[in-house]
Every structure is written in structure tokens, then in C-alpha cells.
Amino acid sequence: MSTATSTPTGTGSEPGRRQAAHKNGPGSKRGRVQQRWLPWAFLAPTIVGMGIFTLLPIVASIALAFFRWDIISAPTFVGFDNFAEVVQDPTVRVSFLNTIVFVVVAVALQLGLALGLAIMVQEKLPAWLRVFFRSAFFFPLILSAASVSIFMRYLFNEQFGVVNWLLSIVGIPAVPWLTTPTGSAAVVILVYVWQNFGFSFLLFIGGLASIPVETYEAASIDGATGWRKHWFVTLPLLSPTTLVASVMAIINALQVFDQPYVLTRGGPGDSTRTAVMVIFESAFQRLEFGEASAIGVILTLIIMAITAAQFRLSKRFVFYQ
């Protein structure tokens, strides 16, 4: 991305000016005026739209966090009251804690699974098998998280679900998946990872393909084989990809909503309630828009902090070729 923005792109103006000269003669006023507003005509739909639906809402969201407003009566300024209330609210606290636990476990599973499978797919394999595995692992990404959660809820049914039936074959007694706090949390994590590991997998496949074959040849001449080869060659050379994959996985996981909403509605109790679910509930079920905005601002700050921390850490641990 950074290389892209710094690439010179001045070629566009040259033909434009020449064209104006060609059409209207040298120094024509009309040509120059047209050139000036033209880019803005191209940009207008995107820039105006983003101003209204992204930039304005960001500012409004921050402002709203300092007001109490239920949409019906006039908003009243309350200073930091919303933040104070939100930070003390036990439901909000539990939800943020749940979200953090979810992010840590789900992202670790997602990245581990994706990396392991990517290494296995990328090594010597018949081409058609490689295509098949790539498509298979990518497939869940095209489904809606809501639909996935619908059928997964049946699969994890305690009495009639396929998961417990499979476990019973191995002699494991029925697990109360969706009726206990740990069971529910496990289902939300498993369903989320099932659907999303394919994305990290694709990133790792791309990263592995960019490691030059000569590096492995050199390593094998030095006597590295099997897992040592991956530990000493693949992992260090893959670290830029790992950084990108983990940043994206963490940011996405922090915003988890669809799966817990459909699978458990945040229950039992508050055991699978997440940060975004709390935003949704306080805004659109309890009509506390100020509080919802305050939670949103906190979540955004956490996301920004994690992103910044990861890029800072990367300076120490990421190895660029």
C-alpha cells in the first residue's frame, strides 16, 4: 500500500492539457476551466457519500458519547457520565472480557490451523488436489455467517445433533453445547473459526508462494529437513504475512456479532455476549444512544491501540527479506 501511494502518477495531466490545447487553441480559457472541475466530478459520488455516511457519523458518534439521548426527547449534555456508567456496568464489562477471550482463542486457532494447512498444501502435491483443498478451505467464506450459525445450531444440538453423535461413537458422553457457558463459548469460537480460517489460509498461501525456492535449497544443503526447515526458514520469511494476517484476524474478531447473536443471543446469562452485541442492545433495544456511542468509541480505541501495538512489535520480530 505504501509503495502504491508513492508511485508517481503525473501522466494524467499532460494529455489533458495537450487535449485542451488541441481542441480550443492555445491558452483557451474553456479548456483549463474544464480541467479544474473535471476530477471533482469523478470524485463527487464517493467523496460526498463517504462524507455523509462515514466521516460525519464518526464525528457524530464521538459527540453523541457525551450526550444522553433516547431519540424521543431532546439530547442533554452529560460530560463523561456515559463512559463512567459504561465502565461500571457489569454486563458491558463481562462482554468486553468475553470479547477479549474470544479474540485470543479464536485468532490463535484460526492462524495456527491456516498456517499448518497452508504449509501442507503448498508442498509437493498433485495440482488438482491443491486446487481442491484451496477451494474447500475457501468455501465457507462465501456463506453468510447467519446461515452458517443456523445450521451449526442444529449440528451442536445436545440430544439430536451430529456433533454429539460423532462424539458418542468415540465414547464421549453428550456435551451440553448450547446450554452451558463454556459450551456456548466453545461453539461460538468453533463456528467462527470454521468460517474464517480460510481467509488467513489464503494469505499464508500467498506468503509461502513468495518465498524463493533457493532459500529451501540452501537450507537443505545445510542439513535442515522436515519441521526444522519450517522453523528456521518458513516462519522467519513468512513473518510479514503473519503480521498482516494476525492484524486482520484480530480486528475482525473484535467485531464479532452474527455468530453469537444467532447461535446463543449472548447467553446463557451473559456468557457469550460480545462488545458489538452490547452496542446493538443499548442502542436499538434500550434506546440509550449516548451509551452505545460511548461503548463504540471505547471499542474503536481498543482496535486502534492493538493495531498500533502490533506494528510496533513487528519492528522487533518481523523479518523482511
Partner 1 sequence: MTILQERVTTTAPVVKRKKRDWSVAIRVVVLLIASVFVLGPVLWTLSTSLRPPSESFQLPPAFLPLNPDLTSYEQVFKQLNIVALVVNSALVTGLIAVGQMITAALAGYAFAHLRFRGRGALFSIVLATMMVPAQVTIVPVFMLIRGVGLSDTLLALIIPAIPTAFGTFLMRQYFMGLPGELAEAAAIDGASPWRTFRSVYAPLAMPGLAIVGILAFNFHWNEFFRPLIMTISEQNFTLPLGLVSLQGNLGTGSISVVLAGVVLSMIPALVVFMFGQRALQDGLTAGTGK
Residue 209: CB atoms within 10 A of its CB come to 9
Burial of 53 (0-12, 13-18, 19+ CB in 10 A): exposed
Amino acid at 99: T
CA distance 263 to 274: 13
Instruction: Please give the grid coordinates belonging to residue 120.
Output: 501442507
Sole binder of partner 1 in the list 33, 97, 162, 218 (CB under 8 A) = 162
Q: How buried is 300 (Cβ within 10 angstroms: 0-12 exposed, 13-18 middle, 19+ buried)?
A: middle
State which of positions 188-247 bind partner 1 (CB under 8 A). Answer: 194, 198-199, 202-203, 206, 240, 244-245
Q: Does 281 bind partner 1 (CB under 8 A)?
A: no
Whichever of 25 and 39 has its CB closer to partner 1, that residue is 39
Residues 45-104 that bind partner 1 (CB under 8 A): 45-50, 52-58, 60-61, 64, 71
Taking residue 101's Cβ as centre, other Cβ atoms within 10 Å add up to 12
Single-letter amino acid, residue 149: S
Give CA–CA dist 192/107, Å, rounded: 10
Q: How far is the CB of 241 from partner 1 (least distance, A)?
A: 8
* Cα(293)–Cα(299) distance, integer angstroms: 10
Q: Which of 30, 76, 84, 154 binds partner 1 (CB under 8 A)?
A: 154
What is the smallest separation between the CB atom of 222 and partner 1, expressed in angstroms? 18
- Closer residue to partner 1 (CB): 16 or 268: 16
- Position 280 contacts partner 1 (CB under 8 A): yes
**Residue placing its CB nearer to partner 1 in the complex, 224 or 248:** 248
112 to each of 82, 234, 259, how far by Cα in Å? 39, 14, 21
| Sole binder of partner 1 in the list 160, 170, 214, 315 (CB under 8 A) | 160
Distance CA 106, CA 302 (A): 18
Give the CB-side neighbour count of residue 18, counting CA atoms within 13 A: 5
User: Contact with partner 1 (CB under 8 A): which of 92, 105, 107, 152?
Assistant: 152
- Position 141 contacts partner 1 (CB under 8 A): yes
Count of residues that interact with partner 1, criterion CB under 8 A:
108
End-to-end CA distance of the chain: 17
Among 86, 99, 262, 272, binds partner 1 (CB under 8 A): 262
105 or 193: CB nearest partner 1: 193
Shortest separation between residue 193's beta carbon and partner 1, angstroms:
11
The answer to whether 187 and 264 have CB atoms below 8 angstroms apart is yes
- What element of type H or E holds 41? helix 29-50
Cell numbers describing residue 91: 454486563
Judged by CB under 8 A, the stretch of 102-110, 227-235, 252-260, 311-319 that binds partner 1 is 252-260
Among 183, 260, 266, 296, binds partner 1 (CB under 8 A): 296
Q: Check binding of 144 to partner 1 (CB under 8 A).
A: yes
Contact between 170 and partner 1 (CB under 8 A)? Answer: no
Interacting span for partner 1 (CB under 8 A) from 76-84, 88-96, 231-239, 284-292:
284-292
Judged by CB under 8 A, the chain residues 2 through 21 that form the site for partner 1 are: 2-5, 7, 9-16, 18-19
